[in-house]
Structure 1
Amino acid sequence: MNLKPLHDRVLVKRLEEEEVTKGGIIIPDTAKEKPIKGEVVAAGPGKTGDDGKNIPMTVKTGDKVLFNKYAGTEVKIDDVEHLVMREDDILAIIE
């Protein structure tokens, strides 16, 4: 299945967090929080401004991003969970 986000929406695949802490403690699945890091899989064309002109997206496919904890709507594509969120929900691009 292919999804193409509309307007200022972004399709993000969560990046998995490490299962072992720096001290060597293994974290069980039930104690883990959902990761707030992800990779942009697809991005829409951008938002339309008040003057009718298109405002291009800041993020692009392949960018690793940091986003709000409860951002977006979860969707399953080929048995892999993704998030569809607005570009405004993205806090930073990880370089």
Structure 2
Amino acid sequence: MSVNFKPLADRVLVEPIAAETKTASGIIIPDTAKEKPQEGTVVAVGPGKKDEPTTVKVGDKVLYGKYSGSELKLEGKDYLIVKEGDLLGVIG
């Protein structure tokens, strides 16, 4: 999961977890009806701001707001770069 990218300041690079393609009852969800994922895995973290180091670490599963961050593509994969303050919490 190593990416050649180093976020600056309090930014965090997140790899979104793929959205579900089926409901619990087995109904297939078309791409147009899928919601954007709001959960992902931290891939890289910046050093933080002066006197405010980042609190998440690589490998953490995090929850973020639906419209948080900026989408980018690195090495053929989709990622999201968000400020640590836009993360809602760590899962598990």
TM-based fold match above 0.5: yes
Tell me how many residue pairs correspond in the alignment. Answer: 90
Q: Which one has the largest radius of gyration?
A: 1
CA RMSD in angstroms, aligned pairs only: 1.1
The one-letter code sitting in structure 1 at the alignment partner of 2:55 is T
Structure 2 equivalent of residue 44 of structure 1: 46
User: Could you list the runs of 5+ residues in structure 2 that have no partner in the other structure?
Assistant: none
Structure 2 equivalent of residue 51 of structure 1: none
Structure 1 equivalent of residue 24 of structure 2: 22
> Alignment identity in percent?
56
How far, CA to CA, are the matches of 1:11 and 1:77 in structure 2?
11
* Deviations, residues 21-78 of structure 1 (Å, cap 9, x unaligned): 1111110111101100000000011122xxxxx2111100000000010111111001
Moved segments of 4+, more than 3 Å: none
Q: Does 1:56 align with 2:53?
A: yes
Give how far 1:17 is off: 2.1
User: Could you list the runs of 5+ residues in structure 1 that have no partner in the other structure?
Assistant: 49-53
Output aligned runs, 1:1-95, within 5 Å.
Answer: 2-48=4-50, 54-95=51-92
